[in-house]
Structure 1
Amino acid sequence: MQPKYLTLVIAAALAATSVGANASGYRFGSQSLSGQGTADANGAEAADASTIFYNPAGLSRLDGTQITAGATVVVPHSTYNDTGSTHFTGAPTNGTPAKDYAPNSVTAPSLYISKKINDQWAAGLGLYVPYGTKLDYGNTWSGRYALTNVKLESITLNPSVSFKLNEHHAFGFGIDAEFMKAELGQAVDVPGSIAALSSGAGAAQGALLIRQITALGGNPALLRSAQDAHGSNDAKDWGWGFNLGYLYTLDENTRFGLAYRSSISHQLRGSTVWDFSQVTTDPVVNQVLAAASHKVNSAALVTLRTPETVSANVFHQFDSKWAGMADVTFTRNNRMGNLDIQFPGTGEGAEVIRQQWKNTVRVSLGGNYKYNQDLTLRAGIAHDESPVQGPELTHPALPDSDRMQYSVGANWKLSPRSSIDFAYSYLDFKDAKLNYTNQCNPLSTTCTGNGETTRGVYQTHLSLVGLSYNYKF
């Protein structure tokens, strides 16, 4: 399948949801249970080793050796109502309704380890899921010419160090080793192509197909009942980046943080496979149609850069029980403009994906309440912008929209050395409208695409439930 959709999927920068995340784009937004409980407003808190992700300078505040291991389960609920998807010819696609395309749940793990080396230096290692999604619409839904299924898995290794200059200033640095793997599928509009070649300007080419089928002993009458072909793609890559942090401690109750995470360049390489075997019951007809499509099994290549992020945050301890915090994160999504998808070693034209993402801002507020010596309660609220600019640039691989996040959480001390964190978040998305048209049709020899228009409305909300275990040596 055309790796174009790989870009959408991995776009990553994707700024940052879909069915496995709570930050906009494809970025998985829950890398820490203590963070999730405050809607990720805790960048300047540095409560545990997960500060490696939010602000590595926070390692300077942690004593001894600490381990935080957890997992977040995402439970999505999403419905899609088609409002008139069409073939490139303008005829309705007449597909089946999209049902159960989102999984019952998706689980993402995280692991952080920190070590205080001396009064100035500390080090740590983070392992977490930066991006993720999984959607399976089936091969017969109304938007099948845009996408039938997509799965994105990723993981980041993030070794980090911090340096405490004095009681006020601490700095952090980390290296990001990011792995991505994607699988996706798409129908090929054979029925629409045959309809376009049955009359008018395409009649001569249609007549040639019939002669070729007849000469090879096939049955051209089966063209009238031809079904879709299908394409599938998989690709993977390692990419490298870095993150920086700065923590300013005003006094024992107040601190401010700044954090930067760089973009990461990826060259996702894999394979593309086209399947015309089920178009008709006649192998000869299928063979001729496959040759006429100019689609051949080949390598796949997508080059992209994830966007960088900049965060500013604050933490203040009001008294022995109450603490408040806030975070503002800017994501430079406009790196994800139109993308050229290449099919190395073939004569198949590249596909241009109109994406043109916009930069986004996420704002979150949170608080802690120390109920007693063993139990601390958390809560937070956040507003997150979608990088998608409008219905004409919204694709079924990323039915994203602005959303609100409401979170609660708790930390319960099991002993002086161990504790558990719990967090629950509810994400309420605005309706996402689609009116996306692929500007290349399957009869073109200079580019790749079905030329489809996918029109519909998504209604989505997510629940995230997480649990982590913390231990201090």
Structure 2
Amino acid sequence: MKRRLISVAAVLLFVLAGISSASASGFALYEYSARGNALGGAVIGRADDPSTIVTNPAGITQLEGTQIAAGASFIMPNMDVSVNGNEVHGQNNIWVPPHFYVTHKYNDKWSFGVGLYSRFGLGTEFDADWAGRYNVTEAVIQTYSINPNVAYKVNDKLSLAVGVEYINVKMDIQKKMNLSPAPLPDDLSQTKAEGSGYALTLGLLYQINDQWKFGVGYHSQAEINAEGDLSFATNYGAPFNLVDTDVEGSVVLPDMLNIGLTYYPTKDLSIEVGGVLTRWSTYNELRFEFDDPVGPTSSYTSVTPKDWKDVWRYNIGVEYKALDWLTLRCGYTYDESPLNENRLDYLIPGNDRQLYSAGVGFNWQDWTLDLSYTYLWMKGRDYGNTVGVTGVQPDSHSKNARTDIYGITVGYKF
């Protein structure tokens, strides 16, 4: 069985290394399991399936024996951007962040678990010649996390957990370079970089009484130092200095605090309310350092100001065990946008979001199958107050933003 688990983990790790996602608040992702998707992320106080490794690892003390779960979310975003009266539709892509978890209860006190998942991601793509091409034509952020945790059941009411999260980040940003007034066509630049870092993970689960549970999960900040290259399609030399060069950059990914309070009016019905605080104020700017001078000003640095703000993601989820083999779920989420309206760009043309979700769970002997659907609606965004961001037109706004998210997770208990 060990060999089989290692093989499955290796395959999932390979898949995770090549994924990205879209339509996130900022560029954070919250699609960790089909059950969690269906409940709007309200699984912090419940903390009773293997995906709790991500949100509240203290919950693995509730899981008997050895359990595994694997699956994916299928994210299908749609959005229009109007620039100077011309409407542009973003490319229709499907982004597939997978997830994989293993938990093991060693004895009545100690439990262990490891998760492979994606906590950050971004996918934005427009036609190569659209009006905002000097800001971005394509942007992809791909991440995967490997997160081992150990949990300890202090007593019948309290469980605690601690772990370390390894985060790998890949970034690919493409945009056009305006060479006017020279009689030359636009050049295409591409910045590719990869780096990694570590975060501390913590969890707490408290059984208040037979009807109430409270949970807290935490991911610390993670500093990512990345290296890569900046390349140009044409490589124009002096005076443009658009020549390939190596690049370095760093970013501090935000810490996240998850909280949830769960109420069980009956043994078959549960209601959880909670939220996620994401401290995006760590994201002040996107900075790259070049080995060689770039552009007509011979700059060795590219700085794009961000100045994002801390935000909350509020959720409520209801779960009802209708039959021994069938569970029904629904959820609602209100997700605040961290973007600074004076520092907007087209990489993340987002705003506050509302998510409506539903799903079902099937169980047969030691197997479980969870399915979910989420409809995401996002408020429009006006770029009229944006200043100092290259390629962003003041007479532009995003609209008609919506996303369909399908989820599937298969679980097995040994």
Match for 2:224: what amino acid? H
Aligned to 2:398: 458
RMSD of aligned Cα (Å):
1.9
Write out per-residue CA displacement over residues 144-180 of structure 1, whole angstroms, 9 at most, x where no aligned residue.
1111111221110111110001011110112111111
Matched, 1:419 2:368: yes
Matched, 1:52 2:10: no
Structure 1 residue 274: deviation in Å?
A: 2.0
Aligned residues of 1:384 and 1:402 also touching (Cα < 8 A): yes
Matched, 1:258 2:220: no
Please show how residues 42-441 of structure 1 align to structure 2 within 5 Å: 42-83=43-84, 98-103=88-93, 105-191=94-180, 193-194=181-182, 223=183, 226-276=184-234, 287=236, 290-346=237-293, 348-390=299-341, 392-415=342-365, 417-435=366-384, 439=388
Write out per-residue CA displacement over residues 48-74 of structure 1, whole angstroms, 9 at most, x where no aligned residue.
111100100001111000011111101
Distance 1:140 1:438, change over 3 A: farther
Structure 1 residue 296: deviation in Å?
A: 2.6
1: CA distance, partners of 2:392 / 2:115: 42
Structure 1 residue 143: deviation in Å?
A: 0.3
Structure 1 residue 136: deviation in Å?
A: 2.1
Aligned to 1:206: none
2: CA distance, partners of 1:102 / 1:243: 35
Aligned residues of 2:55 and 2:218 also touching (Cα < 8 A): no
Write out per-residue CA displacement over residues 377-416 of structure 1, whole angstroms, 9 at most, x where no aligned residue.
01110101000121x321110111001111111111122x
User: TM-score scaled to structure 1, two decimals?
Assistant: 0.79
Match for 2:349: what amino acid? P
Structure 1 residue 338: deviation in Å?
A: 3.1
Q: Return 5+ residue gaps in structure 2 as ranges.
A: 1-19
State the secondary structure of the residue aligned to 1:342: strand
Query: Comparing both structures, which one devotes a greater share of its residues to strand?
Result: 2
Query: Comparing both structures, which one devotes a greater share of its residues to helix?
Result: 1
- In terms of Rg, which structure is larger? 1
2: CA distance, partners of 1:81 / 1:119: 59
Write out per-residue CA displacement over residues 190-234 of structure 1, whole angstroms, 9 at most, x where no aligned residue.
12x43xxxxxxxxxxxxxxxxxxxxxxxxxxxx2xx211121111
2: CA distance, partners of 1:319 / 1:393: 49
Aligned to 2:15: none
Distance 1:82 1:377, change over 3 A: same
1: CA distance, partners of 2:309 / 2:90: 30
Aligned residues of 1:20 and 1:74 also touching (Cα < 8 A): yes
Aligned residues of 1:83 and 1:457 also touching (Cα < 8 A): no
State the secondary structure of the residue aligned to 1:293: coil
User: TM-score scaled to structure 2, two decimals?
Assistant: 0.90
1: CA distance, partners of 2:239 / 2:196: 36
Structure 1 residue 369: deviation in Å?
A: 1.0
State the secondary structure of the residue aligned to 2:208: strand
2: CA distance, partners of 1:168 / 1:47: 14
Aligned residues of 1:97 and 1:141 also touching (Cα < 8 A): no
Structure 1 residue 131: deviation in Å?
A: 1.7
Write out per-residue CA displacement over residues 82-132 of structure 1, whole angstroms, 9 at most, x where no aligned residue.
137xxxxxxxxxxx85334241x1111100110000010000010111122
Q: Return 5+ residue gaps in structure 1 as ranges.
A: 1-18, 85-95, 195-222, 278-286, 441-449
Taking only the aligned residue pairs, the percentage that are identical comes to 26
